[in-house]
Structure 1
Amino acid sequence: MGRAFVYVILGGGVAAGYAALEFARRGVSAGELCIISEESVAPYERPALSKGFLLPEAPARLPAFHTCVGSNEERLTPKWYTEQGIELVLGTRVKSADVKRKTLTTAAGETISYKILIIATGARALKLGEFGVRESDAENICYLRNFADATKLVSIIQTCNGGNAVVIGGGYIGMECAAALVTNRIKVTMVFPEAHCMARLFTPKIADFYETYYESKGVHFIKGTVLSSFENDSDGKVTEVVLRDGTRIPTNMVVVGIGIRPNTGLFEGQLAIEKGGIKVNGRMQTSNSSVFAVGDVASFPVKLFGSDIRRLEHVDSARKTASHAVSAIIAPETISDFDYLPFFYSRVFTLSWQFYGDSVGEVIHYGDFVAGRCGAYWIDKGRIVGAFLEGGDRDDYAAIAEAVKLKMVVKEKGEVEELGVEFASRAARHRESGAGLVLEKPLYAWHAVAGVAAALSVAGFAYWYGTRRRRW
């Protein structure tokens, strides 16, 4: 028993939805495209799970956040896929793949063949049991990676109003879930081994601003230590979190956000793997010409970093790599290699930040770290390679994005610190006036057009997303 398609997308997350939209725009015929997903719902905007789904008032619920509303495109409901003749195979696990024979085999034993495969398997949440933590399968221990996780988390939150929660991990999921829990009137303790939150991105100065704000909301931080074990009651629920230093924290629930691992298992030994993901070229094509990979699972060359191979765990990358891959499949003669500006953002409480580029080199902070309009530039070899801003507006974010894309030259560090966003805004003003970018003409002359378009597009989405967040 089996089925055959021209195109198969393996995975049903954000990337799958954006790939499907691009296929539809490029005229895919009914019956040619299939999406296989372990999840029971059609592709949706994953950021809504931590930014809107957990909120106590006007929470995000499907179908409101199906893809592709996150980029202000049409909402792809199950009905849309039917109308487009795109087959959704939901609640289905693929147990094996054979890229030479171009077949996938499901857990039920069905064989699905393809001419072109797009791997959009994303990543899975790392579990405590993988690190030897005892009693880590209690029913009030939660993760947040997919719709089922979020549904379980909401159910437990609703039983813990006024209670206590421990959040394990100080990264994206930890910070966003902690904010949601506090909004649900739950007292939160955050535990992580690093010296400060968001250690992969934030400098100590930036982290101090956010930790101070969180503390003003009642969040307690325990840094520099890790979870050792749990104490459970007779019903199997966690009642205490025990840390390595012996500290015991009473709790009603635990949320774990300790990272993710790309879902490459089906293709290891068949496709090239690099930086933990499936290696692709500038067209998202793997070492097998019939297979493409997108989103969290893909390691691709980033032109901005000298074509260094990167694997980027963020929704913006998932959306854009998916669309680019489909364009490269359908109309390869019209597509150049992917030119991506790495972009990350978050919204918690009334705060909102965006980051572009790479967090390497010397850091120059600027702005008011008390009032909450503050930021930083990362300078490497005299050029801006990364930029962060909290509390900006659409124009501000577009300006810092452009500064990174164009790798603006920094001659006087004191001037950068004093001017802050204004330093980046100069580039836009020079361009609009037709005067050229005088700070470093050789650099800007060849990169301006593409850089401006990409920066404005990314910043525009993030600004729009912020204004819609309460609806999600």
Structure 2
Amino acid sequence: MAVTFCKYIVVGGGVAGGYAAREFVKLGLQPGELTIFSKEAAAPYERPALSKAYMFPDAPARLPGFHVCVGSGGERQLPEWYAEKGIELKLETEIVKADVENKTVTTDKGEVYEYGTLLLATGSTFLDLADFKTAGADAKGIFYLRDLRDADKLVDAIKGTNGGEAVVVGGGYIGLELAACLTVNKIKVTMVFPDPCFMPRLFTPELASFYEGYYEGKGVNVIKGTSVTAFEKDDNGQVSKVLLKDGRTLESTLVVVGVGAKPVLAPFKGLLEEEKGGFKVDASFKTSAPGVYAVGDVATFPMKMYGDTRRVEHVDHARKSAMQAVQAIKAAEKGEVVDEYDYLPFFYSRSFDLSWQFYGDNVGETVIWGREGAAAPGSKFGAYWVKDNKVMGAFLEGGSADENKLIAKVAREQPTVNAKEDLVAAGLGFASKI
């Protein structure tokens, strides 16, 4: 069997794959040196658009408008961009077998490629309710969102609902953003999740109460503290009812599920050292196998700021880790090293007229400021997380670009605070003095 050699291979054509391609080009990539394998039919695009503007009833986002790297203000890399740079972009092609000793990968079409350097950017996929053995989870009308094909199916379902009702399962990122999208499409939404509040991994109950009230004000029915136990189907296999653990039954022919994600480790699982659910890497994103790097959702990396190791599922880290790995790869070829990855955790969300950003670590005591005026349209409020008299994290709702930079600086510098009451009184003013 013929084996094709590639100096660089990227497995995964998502956000990280697209940003890695840009960094390779920036650092002097020669035509024919890079091949990217992607299961998707489209060139790399900014995935967050799918749960936001893609679902809008008016002027929705569509490709080619959100190909990478527009999400960070960069050039839009259309499919022809890759061809112009001499990059082979093999779409609708999955790597199904790997041999890290002989440095080969095999595609689902039986093609074998040998690599000099391999970059794993396979990302995550959604958790399916079938994974939890939820009865009826295979019914028609139950949707998940991870890629463009999922988004197109959901858009068609929204159009077919004609302002009816929908159930959203999950109270995290995807659940909140899609509940908002469904609502602006004039669909009556009920949200169901087992947690005590929205976004429990980040929000405190007090912080979440504003968002829950806001959603309810938009007509969303929020059901907390219970889970879906089963779905009932009609004679055509279409979902008709959602059965809850607390005994309630919700009638709906449209269900959207957002209950989390899991990193895509196959077919490299068992071939590379793992930690905390991902492939263990160093500060340059090198794995335990020679010539193999892993970035984005699948990498468990040293978090320099906090002195531990973490795996981060977020587009910001996908972009930056891909760039870091490519810089490290190119430096190593010259016998040089790059500065270790010094990542500041960053999360954000936009829904309805809301827009929040969070930087740092949500550990310690939460100090909320400006909360009393949070019900007013356009009002700003936020929170600081304080541990051992240091501000470890900062959150801001409704901030401008400059104001968001201020809270990022606070989280990066971890200033000392003498009294938490000072944070409440100063609010955003505390950040402006750092």
Corresponding residue to 1:345 among 344, 348, 372: 348
Deviation for aligned residue 1:335: 1.4
| AA at the equivalent of 2:346 | F
8 Å CA contact 2:16–2:322 kept in 1: the answer is yes
Whether 1:147 and 2:154 are equivalent positions in the alignment is: no
CA distance in 2, matches of 1:119, 1:370: 44
CA distance in 2, matches of 1:300, 1:369: 37
Deviation for aligned residue 1:265: 2.7
Query: Which region of structure 1 is more displaced relative to structure 2, 188-197 or 334-343?
Result: 334-343
| AA at the equivalent of 1:51 | K
3-state SS, counterpart of residue 23 of structure 1: helix
| AA at the equivalent of 1:325 | A
CA distance in 1, matches of 2:400, 2:89: 39
Corresponding residue to 2:429 among 422, 431, 452: 422
| AA at the equivalent of 1:370 | A
- What residue number does 1:409 align with? 416
- What residue number does 1:316 align with? 316
1:48-94 alpha-carbon deviations (Å, 9 max, x no partner): 00111111111010011000000111111110000000001110121
3-state SS, counterpart of residue 197 of structure 1: coil
- What residue number does 1:449 align with? none
- What residue number does 1:283 align with? 284
3-state SS, counterpart of residue 160 of structure 2: coil
- What residue number does 2:325 align with? 325
CA distance in 2, matches of 1:394, 1:421: 13
3-state SS, counterpart of residue 54 of structure 2: coil
Deviation for aligned residue 1:239: 1.0
- What residue number does 1:370 align with? 375
3-state SS, counterpart of residue 39 of structure 1: coil
Deviation for aligned residue 1:169: 0.5
- What residue number does 1:92 align with? 93
1:322-360 alpha-carbon deviations (Å, 9 max, x no partner): 011101111242511011111000110111000001111
CA distance in 1, matches of 2:15, 2:148: 12
3-state SS, counterpart of residue 55 of structure 2: coil
Q: TM-score, normalised by structure 2?
A: 0.97
| AA at the equivalent of 1:282 | A
- What residue number does 1:5 align with? 6
Deviation for aligned residue 1:399: 0.9
Mapping of 1:18-37 within 5 angstroms? 18-37=19-38
1:108-140 alpha-carbon deviations (Å, 9 max, x no partner): 211111010000000110001110111212221
Corresponding residue to 1:394 among 401, 404, 409: 401
CA distance in 2, matches of 1:166, 1:130: 19
Whether 1:223 and 2:224 are equivalent positions in the alignment is: yes
1:242-264 alpha-carbon deviations (Å, 9 max, x no partner): 11122110112000001001111
CA distance in 2, matches of 1:398, 1:95: 42
CA distance in 1, matches of 2:248, 2:329: 55
- What residue number does 1:233 align with? 234
CA distance in 2, matches of 1:85, 1:48: 28
CA distance in 2, matches of 1:4, 1:80: 22
- What residue number does 1:461 align with? none
Deviation for aligned residue 1:289: 3.0
1:30-53 alpha-carbon deviations (Å, 9 max, x no partner): 111000011111100000001111
CA distance in 2, matches of 1:312, 1:210: 24
3-state SS, counterpart of residue 433 of structure 2: helix
| AA at the equivalent of 1:373 | K
Whether 1:361 and 2:364 are equivalent positions in the alignment is: yes
Query: Which region of structure 1 is more displaced relative to structure 2, 105-114 or 339-348?
Result: 105-114
Deviation for aligned residue 1:366: 0.3
CA distance in 2, matches of 1:282, 1:426: 32
| AA at the equivalent of 1:364 | V
3-state SS, counterpart of residue 239 of structure 1: strand
- What residue number does 1:267 align with? 268
Q: TM-score, normalised by structure 1?
A: 0.89
Corresponding residue to 1:335 among 316, 334, 338: 338
| AA at the equivalent of 2:375 | V
1:183-217 alpha-carbon deviations (Å, 9 max, x no partner): 10000000000000101111111110001000011
Mapping of 1:52-63 within 5 angstroms? 52-63=53-64
Provide structure 1 residue ranges, at least 5 long, that are not aligned to the other structure. Answer: 428-472
Mapping of 1:190-269 within 5 angstroms? 190-269=191-270
Query: Which region of structure 1 is more displaced relative to structure 2, 5-14 or 244-253?
Result: 244-253
> Which stretches of structure 1, 4 residues or longer, exceed 4 Å deviation after superposition?
none
CA distance in 1, matches of 2:187, 2:294: 40
| AA at the equivalent of 1:312 | V
3-state SS, counterpart of residue 305 of structure 1: coil
CA distance in 2, matches of 1:289, 1:202: 40
3-state SS, counterpart of residue 101 of structure 2: coil
| AA at the equivalent of 2:427 | G
3-state SS, counterpart of residue 222 of structure 1: strand
Deviation for aligned residue 1:404: 0.9
CA distance in 1, matches of 2:4, 2:183: 48
Provide structure 2 residue ranges, at least 5 long, that are not aligned to the other structure. Answer: none
Deviation for aligned residue 1:159: 0.4
1:416-467 alpha-carbon deviations (Å, 9 max, x no partner): 111011101101xxxxxxxxxxxxxxxxxxxxxxxxxxxxxxxxxxxxxxxx
CA distance in 2, matches of 1:20, 1:336: 20
- What residue number does 1:439 align with? none
| AA at the equivalent of 1:165 | A
- What residue number does 1:67 align with? 68
| AA at the equivalent of 2:209 | D
| AA at the equivalent of 1:114 | Y
Whether 1:382 and 2:383 are equivalent positions in the alignment is: no
Identity %: 53
3-state SS, counterpart of residue 267 of structure 2: helix
3-state SS, counterpart of residue 418 of structure 1: helix
Structure number with higher helix proportion: 1
